[in-house]
Amino acid sequence: MSNIKISPMTYEDIDDVLAISFLSFPISWSRESFLTELENNFSYYVVAKSDDVIVGFGGTWIIIDESHITNIAVHPSFRGLGIGELILKSLIDLGKPHFISSMTLEVRASNVVAISLYNKFDFKEEGRRKRYYEDNGEDALILWKRNF
Q: Is 68's pLDDT higher than 90? A: yes
Those residues with Cβ within 8 angstroms of residue 118's Cβ, 6 or more apart along the chain or in another chain: 88, 105, 107, 143, 145
Average pLDDT (68-96) is 96
Number of domains into which the chain is organized: 1
> CATH number of the domain that 80 lies in?
3.40.630.30
Would you say residue 114 lies in a domain?
no
Q: pTM for the full model? A: 0.94
pLDDT, one tens digit per residue, over 20-56 is 999 999 989 999 999 999 999 999 999 999 999 999 9
Catalytic residue among 37, 44, 45, 106: 106
Whether residue 140 lies inside any domain: the answer is: no
Residue 65 in any domain: the answer is yes
**106 flagged as catalytic:** yes
Residue 143: inside a domain: no
**Predicted confidence (pLDDT) per residue in 91-124, tens digit:** 999 999 999 999 999 999 999 999 999 999 999 9
Question: Is residue 110 one of the residues assigned to a domain?
Answer: no
Spot the catalytic one: 11, 45, 118, 134.
118
Does the annotation mark 118 as catalytic?
Answer: yes
End-to-end CA distance of the chain: 26
Question: Which residues span the domain enclosing 86?
Answer: 4-104
